[in-house]
Structure 1
Amino acid sequence: MTRPTHPLIIPSALATVLDSVTLLDTRWELGVPTRRPAYDAGHLPGAAWVEFEGVLADAPGAGGRHPMPQRDVFAAAMRAAGVDNDRPVVVYDDGNSLAASRCWWLLKYFGKEDVQVLDGGFAAWAAAGLPVSTDEVPPADGDFYPTDPGAALLDADGAADFAVTKLLLDARPADRFAGRNETVDPIPGHIPEAVSSPSLANVTESGAFLPPDDLAMRFTALGIRTDSEVGVYCGSGVQATHLALALEASGIRPRTSIYIGSWSHWITDPERPVEV
């Protein structure tokens, strides 16, 4: 398989290269301890299970609800899932790509470029009538080794600076950005001067991403160009990576930096300003 040129791959295209990629199942749901039973009930043939909590995020605490995972823990889990330095990876989840985008971004952050997300996830694969397996996939022995970060990471001060001097996007739903219907974090509102750009508005009802031209229109309306510098945050660094994936899939591909601690980290310091 040649090196992918787009961050998304559709089920029919994946089916033709299934034997030449490493598949990662990252199904996850907020508030649910594990989605492993869903994987056991059926997954893409050969796909390895990757647990979100503890692998794609460290334990909640001062760094937020889903802080960066420990580098060595993440790398070991990727190797156990069969990730090699020279073999392409395709990541999927249930369908909306929230968890898959987090894994996609982390792999790219740690230097692996040949990684894609299955557009529409497991739901799209099953809807296309493609094969599903219940076979257990034993731990592998991949040779993935994380390199220096290949993506930019923001802290709270960096996010505040982006909001004033560049562009800081808030990927949460618009009502949470506005400080309404906040059911996850104890303090409602957003980082001052941030701009609302809900990540899930970039996918259809089925979970598949909008066409690149439609995504590009949404982002150019916000003033984003290829040479733009964009910061992204959300509640805990999941929808933020989803928005980063949409920015990449749009073809604009600005330089995108993630505030991984996001709102759940921002509000840990009572001196940081809050806007509603």
Structure 2
Amino acid sequence: MAGLTAEELHTLLQGTGEYALVDAREPRVTAERGSILLGVSLPLSVLELRADALIPRRSTPVVVYDGGDEDLATRAADKLLKLGWTDVRVLDGGLKAWAGAGYKVQTGGDHVIGQAFGEWIEDVYDTPHLTVEEFRRKRAAGEDLVLLDSRPIGEFENHSLPGGTSIPGAELVYRAAEVVTSPDTLVVVNCAGRTRSILGAQVLINAGLPNRVVSLEGGTQSWVLEGHDLEHGRHSLAPEPSGAALEAAHAAAQRFREKFGLRSIDRATLEQFRAESDKRSLYVLDVRTPEEFEAGHLPGATSAPSWDVAPWVFRHIATHHARIVLVDNDGVRATVAASWIEQFGWGEVFVLEDAFAGQALEEGPVPRTPLAVPDVEAVAPADVTGEFAVVDLQPSHDYRAAHLPGAVWALRSRLSASAGAIGGTGPILLTSEDGLLARYAAADLAEATDRPVRVLDGGTAAWRAEGRPLTSEEPAWLHTPDDAVANGWRETDPERRKAGFRRYLAWELGLVEELRADDTVPFRAFP
């Protein structure tokens, strides 16, 4: 298998050609041991489930890396080649070689670049902010202010600040005038930490909102650290714009077009892009809400809500310098999202004009495209008996919340090497959320053990649907739960949670200095 040196990779990252840089390790390992800024997390454990959407063009140059002292990159590259990608190489010596060559290693997250983008925005544009104490003092004094939470409604309902309204991503520009009705109102934007607070405040400033706009420093984490209570289960969502509010949104979109030099394309150009997609990667992202997407979308488009595009564009696009076409109903949210991608420097972005005019739309979610699903023997929930040793491969936080009694948790990428550690001597039953990941793991495990290997038909979801017992008690771990980055919100002990918040916020505040030491930063400022 072909490899390339750290120096060759560095040259590739500073060029203008397409490439995908893939980190094959688990997210927690990446966060704790470091990563390359422009890499995209695609763990070997879930490669067949995500690769098609992240890297759709099979001839895209792909570079895979790991820590340098393991075989994950080689195994992942071999899988990609077998699945049809034709230009796949491994970084010789992995991350250790990258660091050894004098290049910057980023730590603290599986995608440091997302939070770093928010800190860079604040640094470059001098985005104003307000502390929690200043905010509380103003509100207690009865000052005219509005609190906008830039997280989607699911996160908002989980926990929110008193008096806030959910209005995430580009919805801030689209719906702002429905919530902010006076130019004298102070607009405060918050999220769980810093990133989306900063991006939300700056995007409203860019939109030309006449109000004073600030981010709430530290968001809900700082609120908790200062001893204040959060609200849970509250539903407060900004309404869709109409009348004067919609006119204001369209006017704001025009300001974005002019400030960021954004480009629009027509239907014929999109079809030309599609015809060329075997030579130039193409991503068509619908940035409306998931509910709008499922009600009717363009064939071939992917749901990528605007709050996912900024700053998490890498969740949908692993190929750098690809063509990216953004879609919505009237161009406002697509234009706002395009401005973020332009600043992010991730690819060549376009907004589709009159996206739905005269088009036959598809309904429902776009099904994912798992690749080369193995044909393995499945066992119906009703046929599961005590003879099976049950191994659970669903995300570790889901396993903690509810798993089959007696199930042990494992990582698919490490399962074959741990075959001898699985309890019992009888057949092994693998399960995952819907049973699909379990099928891949079963094919791997069958080559590493003489014991019969089966999968739970339909996975844990089918088990639950039949009303069969699940438990959160007595979790057992075949592997360290490295599938998720450490997160203060998952701590149940209040002091441990606060300690996690302090570490996270301090890390975010240090990211601008970390970027200054990295010559691969792609961000672009627009005065």
> Normalization by structure 2: what TM-score?
0.23
Greater relative contact order (Cα 8 A, min sep 6): structure 1 or 2? 1
